[in-house]
């Protein structure tokens, strides 16, 4: 009887250990098997890109895939967003995985069999359309993750919410969109997500490598609008008026001293860029007004507030000193993408297991912005970067994101799928 009891106990303990053990070898097999499909999906999305809030075909493809996997699917969130809910066989935590879907108004120059020749309308203008930032890879990778984990549903103790997000690059003028609108429409609430994970392909990181950072990782993006009011006069007699073009030029120079002389750059980087300058109608008229439009990038909330105050003060005082008047408006586009330090430290082990410890390295902060930061304001979040640069290429020779020559090596996609799957399994286990 004692031997029978002992045998039964050992069987139960063995079964429990098997149930609790990470199923990573099986993940690896499933990822290898699905890699050709991930590449095919990516090529299809690359050849058929869609602009922000117009991702209709992409959303249809994602929806059909998730439904075929037996997931609970919700559509039409933030215009074209799709959410798939995978409930494991056992109860447990709820985590969110995000992939953005939109392309950019860029004409592709890369000579690929699946090169984009698509066109569309952007803010009233006819434009070429290209996945010049890699969101096509994000969608394909996430579809692969969903398929792998759906086949392991019986082994999952928790729920995964797959969030396919539109308009990461920003909605068209006059429209809402992106992560902020998805959150406003309840994407984090039912079921209630307790942690969020996301990745971004990177054209300057070698294939097979992962980059990460704890804390402020990508900058907040604020846009400023400065309208300078002068006094119109004949261009031959500028002393009869107040030239808003000259005043605006002085403001542009003054704004750069905020970076070079007023910000502690040993703490975090700051960028102030004027990207648009509108004034005048002809050569011999000093106009009444001029307008500057630009962006501010910061990685620290205190520095962000200080920079805003200094932009307003600099513009107003320079204008006042010349007898002009400046109106300043600052608009927040995206918050800082902030990686929760505890979650980052925990996730590092999963990424090292997926890629190899030597291939996972800490990175410097980026002054580019990402609306994934909206999720981080609501729940602990972790955002990392997946290598997409060919191994034989030098980073300074790789085309930048958002350019016509942007290129991604497809051999890195399987690491993206595996990394997400490992994060899910480890999170549920712990």
Give first-to-last CA distance, the chain, whole Å. 36
Among 308, 282, 286, which Cα is nearest to 297's?
A: 308
| Cis? peptide before 105, omega within 30° of 0 | no
Determine how many CB atoms are found less than 10 A away from the CB of residue 256.
Answer: 13
Q: How far is CA 181 from CA 99, 150, 273, in A?
A: 15, 28, 27
Strand partners, 162: 84, 97
DSSP of 35-84: HHHHHHHHHHHHHS---TT--HHHHHHHHHHHHHTT-EEEEEETTTEEEE
Q: How far is CA 390 from CA 83, 205, 209, 380, 414, in A?
A: 32, 9, 11, 32, 15
Q: Which long-range contacts (CB under 8 A, 24 or more apart) does 356-360 make?
A: 359/208, 359/209, 359/210, 360/209, 360/210, 360/211, 360/212
Residue indicated by tokens 């809910």? 85
- Catalytic center residues: 102, 168
Q: Torsion over CA of 178, 184, 187 and 190, rounded to 10 degrees? A: 180
In this structure, the chain runs to a length of: 430
Element (H, E) at 159: strand 157-165
| Cis? peptide before 191, omega within 30° of 0 | yes
Three-state secondary structure call for residue 165: strand
DSSP of 360-394: EEE---BSS--TTHHHHTTS-EEEEEEEEE-TTS-
CA 90 centroid distance within chain: 31
Tokens coding 72:
């609970």
């Amino acid at each position: 009887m004692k031997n029978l009891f002992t045998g039964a106990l050992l069987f139960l303990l063995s079964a429990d250990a098997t149930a609790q053990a990470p199923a990573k070898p099986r993940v690896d097999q499933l990822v290898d098997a699905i890699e050709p499909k991930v590449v095919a999906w990516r090529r299809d999305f690359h050849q058929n890109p869609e602009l922000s809030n117009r991702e209709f075909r992409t959303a249809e493809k994602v929806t059909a895939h998730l439904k075929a996997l037996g997931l609970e699917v919700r559509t039409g969130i933030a215009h074209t967003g799709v959410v798939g809910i995978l409930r494991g066989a056992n109860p447990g935590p709820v985590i969110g995985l995000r992939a953005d879907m939109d392309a950019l108004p860029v004409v592709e120059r890369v000579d690929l069999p699946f090169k984009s020749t698509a066109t569309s309308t952007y803010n009233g203008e006819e434009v070429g359309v290209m996945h010049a930032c890699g969101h096509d890879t994000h969608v394909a990778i996430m579809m692969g993750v969903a398929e792998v984990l759906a086949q392991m549903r019986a082994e999952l103790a928790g729920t995964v919410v797959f969030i396919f997000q539109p308009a990461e690059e920003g909605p068209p003028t006059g429209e809402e969109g992106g992560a902020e609108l998805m959150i406003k429409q309840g994407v984090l609430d039912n079921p209630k997500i307790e942690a969020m994970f996301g990745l971004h392909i990177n054209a300057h990181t070698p294939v097979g490598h992962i980059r990460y950072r704890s804390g402020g990782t990508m900058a907040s993006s604020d846009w400023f609008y400065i309208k300078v009011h002068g006094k119109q006069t004949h261009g031959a007699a500028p002393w009869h008026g107040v030239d808003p073009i000259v005043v605006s030029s002085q403001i542009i120079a003054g704004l750069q001293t905020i970076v070079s002389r007023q910000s502690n750059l040993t703490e975090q980087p700051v960028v102030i860029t004027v990207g648009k300058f509108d004034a005048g109608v002809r050569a011999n008229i000093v106009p009444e007004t001029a307008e500057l439009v630009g962006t501010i990038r910061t990685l620290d909330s205190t520095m962000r507030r200080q920079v805003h105050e200094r932009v307003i003060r600099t513009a107003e005082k320079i204008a006042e000193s010349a007898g002009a008047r400046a109106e300043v408006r600052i608009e927040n586009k995206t918050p800082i993408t902030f990686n929760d330090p505890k979650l980052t430290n925990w996730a590092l082990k999963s990424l090292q297991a997926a890629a190899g410890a030597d291939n996972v390295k800490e990175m410097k902060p980026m002054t580019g912005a990402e609306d994934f930061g909206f999720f981080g304001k609501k729940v602990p979040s972790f955002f990392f970067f997946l290598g997409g640069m060919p191994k034989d290429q030098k980073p300074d020779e790789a085309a930048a994101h958002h350019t016509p020559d942007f290129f991604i090596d497809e051999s890195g996609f399987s690491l993206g799928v595996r990394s997400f799957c490992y994060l899910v399994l480890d999170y549920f286990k712990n």
